[in-house]
Structure 1
Amino acid sequence: MSKVTLKDIAKETGFSVSKVSRAISGTGAIKEEDQKIILQTAQRLGYKTSVVSSKSDSENLLDRIAVLIPKFNAYLTSDFIQRLNDRLLKNGYVVDYYTVEGSTRPEAELLQFIINKGYKAIIYKPRRVRKDVQAVINTTSTPIFSYGQVYGNCININYDNSRMMYEMTNIAIGAGAKKILYVGTFKDDIEVGSKRFDGFMRAVEEAKLTYHYLECECNINKAYEMARDIEFKQYDAVVTAMDKLSLGIFRYLMESKIIPGKDILLSGVENYDVTNIITPSMTTVELSKASVVDIIIERLTNNDFRPQNLSVPYKIIRRESM
């Protein structure tokens, strides 16, 4: 019999994966009637979680893992979370999911709530570095894997974001770009907002090129709206920190008959599926999620929870836009 997942419960009940997660973890504002339906469905389907299991079962669940993510969305759920969930279940772990979005608790308080439940380890995917979260981490002995941001006293799993953007910018320069616009995101997102910009800056300063910098929320529609106020004719290339930014800009460029790869160079990071479907296809960076999951499973299996900063592979994928 295959393992039951949150997605199975969501399909059965007609609720979103996010709502199912909040109902099972007990951390969101959910109607009592809806929560009852979700918990009953989870129990009927045989969903394995320390919350749904009976008391006698949960006492024997020594390998319980908590996963704390910003929110469930199509990309995160289908890629990283799906890989992680499959491997954890295959290795006999019982997994409880928590989301920051929709929780009745602030992020630091939610993390403390999870720590107090006594999990073997917590897998945490923060959007940004927060002082109050670091303060909570400093007081716990529970092993925490931090994927995407660097926190003290954690097993940090990340990409070399500075080097990645340095290499991507040099590709644009090598393709003839002299005036480059960099579109990044907020600097409190240290890895994406700050380190990727540092890599870009190193490349343009070495080449002694003219550049401009704009900051935008990582959202396709926000990037599209921002693009409407940009005079793109003054740039040879637009290098962005995320595919969500490049896709919003791509949409505006195509509407304005400015063709990426022909009239202007354009790149993103993340390798969303759509970047290979649109025409012209988008140059981007593939981030190895499988390597992240491999490290987590290996460390859990070996009970190796030494705080450490670990780097995982990425691959620049050149397509028609650059």
Structure 2
Amino acid sequence: MSDVTIKDIAEATGVSYATVSRTLNNRSGVNAATREKILQAAKDLGYRPNIHARSLKTNQTFTLALIVPDISNPFFSDIALAVNKTAYQYGYNTILCSTNWDPEIEKAQLKLIQDQRVDGIIFKPADRSPDLYLDLNIPTVMISNLVANGLSFIEVDNFKGGKDTAQHLIQCGYKKFSFIGGAKESRSNSDRLEGYRKTLEKHGYQLSEEKIRFGPFTIESGYQIIKSLMGTNDPPDCAFCGNDLIALGVFQYLVETGISVPEKFGLVGFDDVYFASLPQIQMTTVAQPRSQMGSMAVNTLIKRIENGSSSFVEHILLEPKLIIRKSTRNYS
């Protein structure tokens, strides 16, 4: 089968060659319905753009980079799927990098990406120091409210997520609070803790330093940390976890040791990834709109690329949503 051309798409959709060309090159002047019809026809026919020819003509690579801390985490996997899908609709390819929450690996990945001459970068930083990102010189959107050198960002209100969690656990009647977080370097992790701690203090409760623990954003870390906490002289009766993976490790330990959830121990995660709603788990968690974040990051980045000016900046803070399930008491 010969390669599909723009002419083939024009014949299949009944529109002009110029209209197809404007759509596939992400140019203005095409209404939304026609654009969608052309993109769908291109996908159905198996059209693949000649990236080399487009690059020579526009001095672009039509490639975006997505850098995340851990692609094995379902939260970042969902973002990556949305980024890849949306980028494809704009006619861009995507390079995916994973840093394992290591700032040194992140620096190396950023250098590699710059050498590849990508048109833009979307990334979740492993380090919360803005100074590390001052010299990127590439249109960039952060999935973090880390403001550096006028960079755009998309993030949920992590402070509010921590605040809502604290209020919920208090209403459920829990008294001995703990926080089991991920990497200390994570800005989102710190914001969740701050919202949680300040809200507890506002209502007359203390979150002691002994009950604040950090580790990797993993199931194993959650398991080991709650095991340590429950072995102390004053164990907690609830935990707010930095993400759902950590919470799943906590849940596993509680089930294994026969500690009743939610009667004896309340558990709240963060992200609302796919397993949180499984019948065997039914975890209370703070939901993030992962797919929306990925799509919006691409939309913002494309605007920055097309604008051609570093003065174009968007700061988007999305609302988290507390999803109450069966790992916390029913207080209604």
For the superposition of Structure 1 and Structure 2, which TM-score range results when normalised by the shorter chain? 0.7 to 0.9
CA RMSD of aligned residues (A): 3.0
Q: Which residue of the partner structure matches residue 32 of structure 1? A: none
1:280-315 Cα distance to aligned partner (Å, 9 max, x none): 511001100233134223324433562343212321
Pair 169,85 (structure 1): closer, same or farther in 2 beyond 3 Å: same
Q: Which residue of the partner structure matches residue 209 of structure 1? A: 205
Residue 323 of structure 2 is aligned with which of 314, 317, 322?
Answer: 317
Q: Which residue of the partner structure matches residue 167 of structure 2? A: 170
Instruction: Give the match's secondary structure for 1:230.
Output: helix
Q: Larger deviation: 196-205 or 176-185?
A: 176-185
1:113-171 Cα distance to aligned partner (Å, 9 max, x none): 3224332211112233246xx34x32243111111351402211111111111111100
Query: What are the ranges of 5 or more consecutive residues in structure 2 without an aligned counterpart?
Result: 2-45
1:318 is displaced (CA, Å) by: 0.2
The answer to whether 1:126 aligns with 2:141 is no
Distance in 1, matches of 2:327 and 2:97, equals 38
Distance in 2, matches of 1:280 and 1:73, equals 20
Residue 139 of structure 1 is aligned with which of 129, 135, 139?
Answer: 135
Pair 299,234 (structure 1): closer, same or farther in 2 beyond 3 Å: closer
User: Residues 171-320 of structure 1 correspond to what in structure 2 (within 5 A)?
Assistant: 171-192=168-189, 194-212=190-208, 213-217=211-215, 218-231=217-230, 234-302=235-303, 303=306, 306-320=312-326
**Taking structure 1 as the reference length, what is the TM-score of the superposition?**
0.74
How many residues get paired?
A: 270
Distance in 1, matches of 2:191 and 2:246, equals 17
**Taking structure 2 as the reference length, what is the TM-score of the superposition?**
0.72
Distance in 2, matches of 1:281 and 1:71, equals 24
- Cα contact 1:186–1:215 (8 A) shared by 2: no
Query: What are the ranges of 5 or more consecutive residues in structure 1 without an aligned counterpart?
Result: 2-45
The answer to whether 1:84 aligns with 2:83 is yes
Instruction: Give the match's secondary structure for 1:179.
Output: coil
1:189 is displaced (CA, Å) by: 1.1
Identity among equivalent positions (%) equals: 20
Pair 47,244 (structure 1): closer, same or farther in 2 beyond 3 Å: farther
- What one-letter code is carried by the residue in structure 1 that aligns with 2:226? A
Pair 250,74 (structure 1): closer, same or farther in 2 beyond 3 Å: closer
Instruction: Give the match's secondary structure for 1:259.
Output: coil
- Cα contact 1:128–1:189 (8 A) shared by 2: yes
Pair 74,248 (structure 1): closer, same or farther in 2 beyond 3 Å: closer
